[in-house]
């Protein structure tokens, strides 16, 4: 069962009180057995708590995290989980809060960071510890793909444990809405996409539902990948790649993006990704572009705030038109911050996250495929079974919005440029700002 934020707060306070009372009565010893390589050395800790920072507060994200918390708390009665989530999809609020905590030297025991450039920000700033010893002890490098490990490595050392792999370039749709609007084929090309959006418009539904600004950047990245392809996409993020940003391919992509915005709901900036997705689920919109956490939200059990829809019947999916065979990927990983208040517990948490049990418990609910390659596909739903196959054959493109290709600073520069564009709709200005952002940050 997913609790409301208020219930959660009350519960956390109660858990904290119980833990403090317990600490008065006995000296707590972190168990030596289990996942934590460092646990043997740990000194007895009064009021141990595992403070984990993420932005998973709704949909399949919260449901998946709740499952992990249950297992953790059962196995660690003397060091209960303290859920330090900050609401806001894609970490839109959480990352700023985290930055403040880290600069004030008040880190949690572990925090969520995307594999790739985003994680490298924390590494370069000296805010996280290398955790090669965990990989060595549990053999994680043998069960996780090299591509992924390369994105969490810096100067030969590993810095986080990835829990999953997500796909950003997904088109979600309502089959009944498409049928009613006379859209007989799910679009696979730009021309087909526009034709389908026109049909939806003529049928008086929202052709393409959209949410707050980070989801607008998410849409932009998928249109860019569709237009210029994964190779030229990768070149945009390389050192000295700023010239690529002024190419005609990027101009075309930005113009296409501008066109797409004319098919979206006018209240986009006020909607979360779930609210934008729900417009499709409720039959008020035909399409939505979002990462595959949308599958967790759509198909997840109603015990939380998920919709319990039937995959394939109540909703359908395809790659964003023009991106079939491309996996615009990202990965959620967790770190060991320097100065983690309960380091031994944090090490144990990271070892747990990399385990098959944790990954096969979390991901079917979250709407992501596991980072481990030895997961059991039978445990995954219809969409994820499909995604597991696609991951093996598709070309890879790293996500912008979710930290793979660009640092937090570069992302912030794109956010500013995009924010201005959403007001002015001036493509030339947007492109100039993107060139400047690349010059400064590549």
Taking the least distance from each CB to ligand GAL, the nearer of 281 and 330 is 330
Binding track, positions 404-423, relative to ligand GAL; x by CB under 6 A: --------------------
Q: How many residues does the chain have?
A: 442
Beginning with the edge strand found earlier in the chain, give each strand of the sheet holding 170-173 in spatial order.
206-209, 285-289, 170-173, 316-319
The stretch among 54-62, 307-315, 387-395, 429-437 that binds ligand GAL (CB under 6 A) is 54-62
For 374, counting Cβ atoms within 10 Å of its Cβ (0-12 exposed, 13-18 middle, 19+ buried), the class is exposed
Burial of 196 (0-12, 13-18, 19+ CB in 10 A): buried
Among 332, 359, 407, 421, binds ligand GAL (CB under 6 A): 332
With residue 429 as reference, give the H or E element that holds it.
Answer: helix 427-441
- Contact window for ligand GAL (CB under 6 A) among 71-79, 87-95, 243-251, 252-260: 87-95
DSSP state of 394: S
What is the CB neighbour count within 10 angstroms for residue 364? 25
Measured in degrees and rounded to the nearest 5, phi and psi for residue 320 equal -55, 135
CA 278 to centroid of chain Cα atoms: 19
| Shortest Cβ 163–ligand GAL spacing (Å) | 9
- Which CB sits closer to ligand GAL, 138 or 293? 293
List 37, 42, 61, 230, residue binding ligand GAL (CB under 6 A): 61
Return the residue matching tokens 């949308």: 294
Task: Compute the least distance from the CB of residue 65 to ligand GAL, in Å.
Answer: 10
Residues near ligand GAL (CB under 6 A), total: 14
- Distance (Å, rounded) from C-alpha 397 to C-alpha 333? 18
Among 135, 237, 293, 315, indicate the residue that binds ligand GAL (CB under 6 A): 293
Which region, judged by CB under 6 A, interacts with ligand GAL, from 15-23, 36-44, 55-63, 202-210?
55-63
| 89 touches ligand GAL (CB under 6 A) | yes
- Identify whether the C-beta of residue 275 lies closer than 8 Å to the C-beta of residue 211: yes
> How distant is the alpha carbon of residue 418 from its chain centre?
20
Q: Using DSSP, state whether 242 is helix, strand or coil.
A: helix
Asked if 277 is part of the footprint of ligand GAL (rule: CB under 6 A), the reply reads no
Task: Give the residue with the Cβ less far from ligand GAL, 322 or 403.
Answer: 403
Min dist CB 348 to ligand GAL, Å, is: 22
In the bound state with ligand GAL, the residue whose beta carbon lies nearer, of 76 and 92, is: 92
Interface with ligand GAL in residues 103-162 (CB under 6 A): 114
Q: At its nearest, how many Å lie between ligand GAL and the CB of residue 411?
A: 11
* Nearest one of 347, 251, 320, 301 to 45, comparing CA atoms: 347
Query: Token pair for residue 286?
Result: 């035909």
CB-nearer residue toward ligand GAL: 82 or 166: 166
Give the shortest CB-360-to-ligand GAL separation in angstroms.
17
Among 330, 345, 371, 400, which residue interacts with ligand GAL (rule: CB under 6 A)? Answer: 330
Q: Out of 402, 406, 414, 427, name the contact with ligand GAL by CB under 6 A.
A: 402
Element of type H or E holding 149: helix 146-150
> 36 or 403: whose CB is closer to ligand GAL?
403
For every residue of 375-392, DSSP letters joined together read: --GGGS-HHHHHHHHHHH
Please give the residues from 245 up to 274 whose contact with ligand GAL meets the rule CB under 6 A: 273
E strands, 237-357, are 285-289, 316-319, 326-330, 332-335
Answer for the pair 375, 64: CB distance below 8 angstroms, yes or no: no
Residues that bind ligand GAL (CB under 6 A): 55-56, 61, 89-91, 114, 166, 273, 291, 293, 330, 332, 402
């Amino acid at each position: 069962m997913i609790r409301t934020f208020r219930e959660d707060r009350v519960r956390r306070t109660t858990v904290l009180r119980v833990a403090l009372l317990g600490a008065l009565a006995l000296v707590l010893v972190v168990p030596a057995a289990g996942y934590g390589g460092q646990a043997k050395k740990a000194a007895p800790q009064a009021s141990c708590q595992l403070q984990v920072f993420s932005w998973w507060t709704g949909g399949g994200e919260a449901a998946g995290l709740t499952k992990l918390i249950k297992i953790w708390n059962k196995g660690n009665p003397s060091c209960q989980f303290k859920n330090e989530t900050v609401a806001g999809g894609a970490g839109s609020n959480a990352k700023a809060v985290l930055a403040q905590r880290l600069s004030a030297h008040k880190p949690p025991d572990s925090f969520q960071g995307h594999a790739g450039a985003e994680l490298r920000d924390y590494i370069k700033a000296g805010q996280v510890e290398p955790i090669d010893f965990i990989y060595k002890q549990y053999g994680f490098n043998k069960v996780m793909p090299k591509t992924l490990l390369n994105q969490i490595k810096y100067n030969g050392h590993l810095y986080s444990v990835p829990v999953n792999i997500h796909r950003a370039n997904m088109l979600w749709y309502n089959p009944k809405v498409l049928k009613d609007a006379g859209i007989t084929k799910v679009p696979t090309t730009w021309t087909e996409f526009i034709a389908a959006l026109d049909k939806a418009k003529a049928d008086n539904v929202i052709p393409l539902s959209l949410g707050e600004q980070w989801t607008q950047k998410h849409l932009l990245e998928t249109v860019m990948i569709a237009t210029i392809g994964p190779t030229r996409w990768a070149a945009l993020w390389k050192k000295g790649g700023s010239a690529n940003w002024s190419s005609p391919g990027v101009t075309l992509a930005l113009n296409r993006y501008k066109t797409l915005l004319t098919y979206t709901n006018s209240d986009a900036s006020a909607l979360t990704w779930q609210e934008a997705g729900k417009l499709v689920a409720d039959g008020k919109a035909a399409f939505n572009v979002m990462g595959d956490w949308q599958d967790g939200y759509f198909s997840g059990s109603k015990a939380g705030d998920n919709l319990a829809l039937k995959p394939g019947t109540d909703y359908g999916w395809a790659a964003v038109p023009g991106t079939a065979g491309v996996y615009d990927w990202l990965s959620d990983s967790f770190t060991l911050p320097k100065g983690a208040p309960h380091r031994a517990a944090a090490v144990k948490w990271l070892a747990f996250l990399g385990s098959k049990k944790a990954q096969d418990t979390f991901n079917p609910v979250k709407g992501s495929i596991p980072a481990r390659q030895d997961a059991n596909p039978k445990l995954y739903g219809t969409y994820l079974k499909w995604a597991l196959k696609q991951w093996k054959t598709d070309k890879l493109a790293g996500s912008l919005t979710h930290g793979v290709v660009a640092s937090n600073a570069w992302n912030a520069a794109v956010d500013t440029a995009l924010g201005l564009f959403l007001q002015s709709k001036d493509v030339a200005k947007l492109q100039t700002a993107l060139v400047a952002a690349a010059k400064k940050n590549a």
